[in-house]
Amino acid sequence: MSKFSRRQVLQGAAATGAALSTPLVLNAAAHGYTNDPTKSGKLVFGFNVPQTGPYSEEGKDELRAYELAVEHINGEGDGGMLNTMTVNGEGPALKGNGVLGMKLNYVTGDTQTKSDAARASARKMIENEGVIMFSGGSSSGVAIAVQGLAQEKKVIFMCGLTHSNDTTGKDRKRYGFRHFFNAHMSGAALAPVLKNAMGGERRAYHLTADYTWGWSQEESIMNSTGAIGWETVNAVRTPLKTSDFSSFLTPVLNSGADVLVLNHYGKNMVDSLTQAVQLGMRDKMVNGKQLEIVVPLYSRLMAQGAGENVKGIYGSTGWSWQLTDAGSQAFVKSFGTKYGFPPSQAAHTCYVQTLLYANACELAGTFDPAAVIPTLEGMDFDGMGNGPVHYRADDHQCFKDVLVVKGKDNPSSNFDLLEIVEVTPRAQVEYDSNLYAGDLGPI
């Protein structure tokens, strides 16, 4: 074959490519904002949670909460927190007929607790299913990764459970919002309680999940316990995939530390705590003091997983179904009616985030992020658990009361494993938004 035909082939290929790409380029330039539901005629939210991996229990509970929120927004069920919430001093703008008169649909995805898989799943939601907002979490690594994607694709991401300071700190994004509390607040709330319970002269040994959340929590807890006079003996990083922690736990006993801080979450925490208790750590005396274990971020699901072993162990949590305010009660009631057991803190934050976003759209009168984002920024709301809450505009972090909890000695049921030791008021956990400097970026 002559060279002429090869050129022809290449030219043909190039011409075809150029011709095919034209409509798509025009299409991209012409649209107002990504996935406008009023154009497609379908309103879709994306729920991207870990259904596999070490955080899958939390993820499944989040999914239940999302389904419940969609029901309530569409006017099905008993309405839950729609009956109790107030935003900027007024009742909810949502009317129980979907959002802005459109029925709400949703799609789900599996993040597998991996940043790569989560991004792929989120891209599929944005590019293929046309979601106007997506939400999810349970790992800060994942939350930060998809939040970056949200910024690039200009689709709002309402963070689910993510506790790293970085999410609204150095990695904060204009298109990302977090209702959940963070490691800094855990430290600020826990330190005074720990000082009362264990004294001001302690030597702590940290085991830390080796990714952004672990690093961030380790730093925050070290700082706040340092302020009450504790010394950190050592901090060891453990891979997220670890399920046998014995090789990490044995050195603790020879280190002279009298407090073990487990910066672990989900199945990691269940495994490390159970194995620590099996090693007899709870009965050890070091430096003439009882060896104590602290789990800075606690959840009821983890307590259930670890069972007996959580007795007397301190930690902090964002929300508990035992709270008695009207909002929490309404949520627990509708969740319990639908699923037969109480919701976890992960479920709570995801439920609230979905309602808040939908309500902000209703308030703004449009789904356009350019109008919805300013509505969410600086919003004050109440009646959704944890008392009055403020969505700080500078870093998109919510400020609310934090709960310090302890494993109950005599639990009455499998769900009643944690008792609330103290409700730390919002003022005590607030910090300057420049403490963890970042840049939200443009709308």
In one-letter notation, the amino acid at residue 427 is A
State yes or no: residue 6 binds another protein (CB under 8 A).
Answer: yes
Nearer to another protein, 212 or 375 (CB): 212
Q: Which of 51, 86, 105, 234 binds another protein (CB under 8 A)?
A: 51
State yes or no: residue 24 binds another protein (CB under 8 A).
Answer: yes
As a whole number of angstroms, the distance between CA 228 and CA 231 comes to: 9
Nearer to another protein, 148 or 383 (CB): 148
| 8 Å CB contact between 355 and 81 | yes
State yes or no: residue 128 binds another protein (CB under 8 A).
Answer: yes
Nearer to another protein, 28 or 285 (CB): 28
| 8 Å CB contact between 335 and 342 | yes
Instruction: Taking the CA atoms of 398, 401, 402 and 405 in sequence, report the sign of the dihedral they define.
Output: negative
Q: How far apart are the first and last CA of the chain?
A: 55
Nearer to another protein, 34 or 328 (CB): 34
As a whole number of angstroms, the distance between CA 381 and CA 356 comes to: 9
Q: Is 408 left (phi over 0), alpha (psi -120 to 50) or beta?
A: beta
Nearer to another protein, 144 or 429 (CB): 144
Task: Name 365's Cβ contacts closer than 8 Å, sequence gap at least 6.
Answer: 100, 371
State yes or no: residue 151 binds another protein (CB under 8 A).
Answer: yes
Strands (E), 68-224: 86-87, 104-110, 133-136, 156-159, 176-178, 203-209
CB of residue 152 vs another protein: minimum separation in angstroms? 4
State yes or no: residue 52 binds another protein (CB under 8 A).
Answer: yes
Nearer to another protein, 129 or 422 (CB): 129
CB of residue 358 vs another protein: minimum separation in angstroms? 23
State yes or no: residue 155 binds another protein (CB under 8 A).
Answer: no
Burial letters for 400-439: b for 16+ Cβ neighbours within 10 Å, e otherwise? bbbbbbbbeeebeeebebbeebbebebeebeeebeebebe
Q: Which of 109, 169, 318, 369 binds another protein (CB under 8 A)?
A: 109
| Residue where the block lists tokens 């800060």 | 140
State yes or no: residue 127 binds another protein (CB under 8 A).
Answer: yes
| Residue where the block lists tokens 């072993």 | 309
Q: Which of 35, 74, 84, 108 binds another protein (CB under 8 A)?
A: 108
State yes or no: residue 31 binds another protein (CB under 8 A).
Answer: no
CB of residue 110 vs another protein: minimum separation in angstroms? 7
Site string for another protein, 222-261 (x = CB under 8 A): ---------------x-xx---------------------
Hey, what are 322's tokens?
A: 């035992």
Hey, what are 152's tokens?
A: 């690039």
Residues 170-189 interacting with another protein (rule: CB under 8 A) = 170-171, 173-174
Task: Name 429's Cβ contacts closer than 8 Å, sequence gap at least 6.
Answer: 181, 184, 185, 188, 189, 399, 402
CB of residue 159 vs another protein: minimum separation in angstroms? 15
State yes or no: residue 212 binds another protein (CB under 8 A).
Answer: yes
State yes or no: residue 148 binds another protein (CB under 8 A).
Answer: yes
DSSP type of residue 99: B
State yes or no: residue 427 binds another protein (CB under 8 A).
Answer: no
Tell me whether strands 133-136 and 259-263 are parallel, antiparallel or unpaired.
unpaired
State yes or no: residue 123 binds another protein (CB under 8 A).
Answer: yes
Nearer to another protein, 12 or 229 (CB): 12
State yes or no: residue 120 binds another protein (CB under 8 A).
Answer: yes
Contact positions toward another protein, by CB under 8 A?
A: 1, 5-6, 9, 12-13, 16-17, 20-21, 24-25, 28, 51-52, 108-110, 114-117, 119-121, 123-124, 127-128, 141, 144-145, 148-149, 151-154, 170-171, 173-174, 210-212, 237, 239-240, 438-442
